[in-house]
Amino acid sequence: MKKFDIPDKYKSSLIAEIKKMRQENDPRKKDYSPTYLDFGSVGFYITRHFGFCYGVENAIEIAYKTVDANPDKRIFLLSEMIHNPGVNSDLQSNGINFIMDTEGNHYLDWDELTADDIVIIPAFGTTLEIEKKLRKIGLQTENYNTTCPFVEKVWNRAYSLGEKDYTVVIHGKHNHEETRATFSHSIRNAKSVIVRDIEETKLLAQIILNEIPEENFYKIFKGKYSEGFDPQKDLQRVGVVNQTTMLASETQAIADYLKETMINKFGEENYKDHFADTRDTLCYATNDNQQATYGLLETKSDFAIVVGGYNSSNTSHIVELLDEKFPTYFINNADKILSEKMIRHFDIKQKSELTKENFIPIKDKVNIVLTSGASCPDAYVDDVLDKLLSYFDKRKTKEEVINTIK
């Protein structure tokens, strides 16, 4: 896989060594068990897969090269490059301004842009409508488009489904940048509808099976379906694609449920004419990170720390999985660890930061799960590890620990 040139401040020599070792020992990614770092009085279970993925590293490399190559130009990002506040703050400090927030609310009006400006399209991609606006202004975005190739793969799959007269069911958060972009690309060639989760999918299935009135479709999926959508006609043939940062297992469950729905309606012998197998749209990085998280659940740990941006979908799903077994603390950097007795963490249910006291148990040996999302620099994870280590006496050095696992 291609190597990208990203700033050194995002790198960690410790994490790089662990990842290199795991890659050499398991090049086919068959082992999802974590790496255990035994520092004596404290041990860390480091997940098998975490940190910057291909799409994120590509986006960061393009953004920084754009800054270096254009010192006299105004440079803008459509919205957040990735869902990590530290990385986005770094970009802004390097002179890159954002046109809008992740919800599509503008900081800058389109008419304030000129053809001499540079606009970078973020890793989530953007809508066809926005691409058209940029072209009308005279902006050339080809060299500054950081859309992840795995997002583009979803778009291409949606297009091919439309070519075969399937309606595209998009598993995602309808207000998420990536989902808005995928929906825009999907509706150019296919009727489309967005489902948030398996519960909404079950409601869609009830409409397909005529178990609830079809007019309910327009209430349940308000703002989530393409223009002129006719439930009676447009739910005869469906295929599922996804926002790449959603839980892979949930996307598969949604696809399986709709497959069974079509079997129930049209019979085992006919369902293939009404349901398209689209499992190939699942992002490799999201899938790897989530599978590695299941590996963490096999450990006997006291608590888990997940590092990443609070608006990062893929990171939130990792938190959800770990929270099923461990006390799990979601933080965006090491500064959220206020002391050995107190941590400030984000509660994904309450959508706010909470303070937890005595989060580190008092015992002879403490084991901690440590991981991050796909938009989190390895250096941030290293900072968290260092801060936690500082609270334990009689600990081994990093060099000693790395040498024991080689």
Q: How far apart are CA 170 and CA 242, in angstroms?
A: 5
Give CA separation, 251 vs 59, 171, 237, in Å: 25, 6, 18
DSSP 134: H
The answer to whether 366 and 76 are in contact (CB under 8 A) is no
Which residues are the active-site residues?
A: 178
Q: How far apart are CA 157 and CA 166, in angstroms?
A: 11
Q: How far apart are CA 172 and CA 178, in angstroms?
A: 9
Q: How far apart are CA 239 and CA 261, in angstroms?
A: 12
The answer to whether 312 and 56 are in contact (CB under 8 A) is no
Q: In sequence order, what DSSP letters do the residues of 155-169 get, joined into one string?
A: HHHHHHHHHTTPEEE
DSSP H helical ranges for 164-281: 177-186, 198-208, 216-220, 231-234, 248-266
Q: How far apart are CA 36 and CA 55, in angstroms?
A: 28
Q: How far apart are CA 110 and CA 137, in angstroms?
A: 8
| Residues 6 or more apart in contact with residue 110 via CB below 8 angstroms | 133, 137
Residue 113: CB atoms within 10 A of its CB come to 19
Residue 226: CB atoms within 10 A of its CB come to 17
The answer to whether 321 and 386 are in contact (CB under 8 A) is no
Give CA separation, 137 vs 115, 140, 141, 281, 298, in Å: 6, 9, 11, 33, 54
How far does the chain reach from its first CA to its final CA, in angstroms? 23
**3 state DSSP class of 116:** coil
